[in-house]
Structure 1
Amino acid sequence: MNTEQKELHNTNNFLDILSQGFKQAEEETILFERISGAKHPKAINNLGNALSLLYQAACCYWKCIGGDHSIEKLIGKVVNQAISSFQLYRGCFYDESLMLTRGIGEIANLLHLFFFFPDKIEVWKALNSRERYKQFKPSAVREMLEKNNSLVPIDKDRYGKLCEIGTHPTPSEIPGHYTGTGVPILGMIVQPVGAYVSITELSYSVGLVLVVTPKLLDLDADIAKKMKDIGLELIRSLGSFNIMNYQENLEKLAQTNK
């Protein structure tokens, strides 16, 4: 076997090892969920219920309002990103899970803008890509909601944290560190705080999408009530660790253990 063949063999072997490690991490995460108290498993159960409803909404299961299905496509994108985010959480890739959750948060804000101001939907669809980004980029959507004293689901501070931890490279950010030790971890190791934060943020964003979906798709009253109830239950079931406070809580814990 020549050098090139050895390198190819080693590369394939490494990817196989990663695949096995991911499966093991998923199994260990599921075991962790069973002993993680009451709120975490409940949030996961509620998240599953919420995603099931959004999946059906994206596919026009109950009702098709026709047209270009712009709202359904956005909801479908939420479903795909949420399922992927959850799988990354199960594999203990918490930063990467949050990266996808950030995208869901952007859609949540946009859907809330359409919820409060239905006329904005047609404006959004009519613009070319450059103007659409200019007028409906994440910061512009937040500003429109703030200007009209409307709810901003993912506000500037939370969005900034999601960007900093999950997406944008910064000199001080350590990958995958949710232990308080500052040691970088490259996935596949269960970290309780990382698990809590990932599910809290994912569930919060998904819940916010769910509560506005019935009006945007003009769904019947019984389905609308079910979606709103499950969305609110999901948001209310979340634990205390979130992206805004986990670092501070880890620092406090470290000081306590000294």
Structure 2
Amino acid sequence: MTNAFDRLGYGTYKLADGEECVSGVAHAIETGYRHVDTAQGYDNEASVSAGIDRTDVDREELFVATKLSTDTLSYDDATATARVSRDRLGVDSIDLLYVHWPIDTYDPEETLPALDDLVDEGVVDRIGLSNFRPDQLDEAIDRLDHDVFAHQVECHPLLQQEELRERAAEHDHWLVAYSPIARNRVADVDVLREIAANHDASPAQVSLAWLLSKDRVAPIPKAADFGHVEANWAAREIDLTDGEIARIDALDRGERIVDFEEAPWNQA
């Protein structure tokens, strides 16, 4: 199968354009990752492409996602910059293109038709949304001609996003979980430490295993350190018991890592 979506992806947020990003992407792919996530706003799409080129893995085996910046969401800007991103990534078409945030220049009447047309024109294969409130997500799904493939939001044991996970199951799209280890705040949670000890693992690995135990959820941890990249990948082998999953399910605090005044959930 080519361009298959791998549930455990490699996030590149704050991986600086240049050698850090190039070597990070290359090492992740060599470790086994096949899903790489970037964004126009990360300013590293060209380095992601260079990292891919440093490996022996065929691009057809990889799934590369990027996101439109908040200042490029008018119809003309979205369609033009998506083509620039495609060229920077060195792909024939972008596997998955998200709206990064429904703020600033986001206008459903302009942005969503742009996404549909990008798919129709072969610039983009799949449509994604990111950081949408449930009502915004419902509106977008109703307006779009093409299916939403993924909705990317912060999700981890301390912010479990049950309503949005239910939306993903209902509409048959993926919930892609960014900050899946809550910038390692999970390391301070006693329940996660206890469960990790039972599996000779870390709380971060347990958090990833918990996300992978959920239907239609795909975590995309970001790590620059090679050891962390490999440890995150190894979380796929952790088999949590039903009892352990239930204990983690009870940890939800609604605790956000990524939050700011203009965020959609603060404008409802």
Q: TM-score, normalised by structure 1?
A: 0.27
CA radius of gyration, larger in:
1
Q: Which has the higher helix share?
A: 1
| TM-score for the superposition, normalised by structure 2 | 0.27
Question: Which protein, 1 or 2, shows the higher relative CO under an 8 Å CA cutoff with sep ≥ 6?
Answer: 1
Bigger strand share: 2
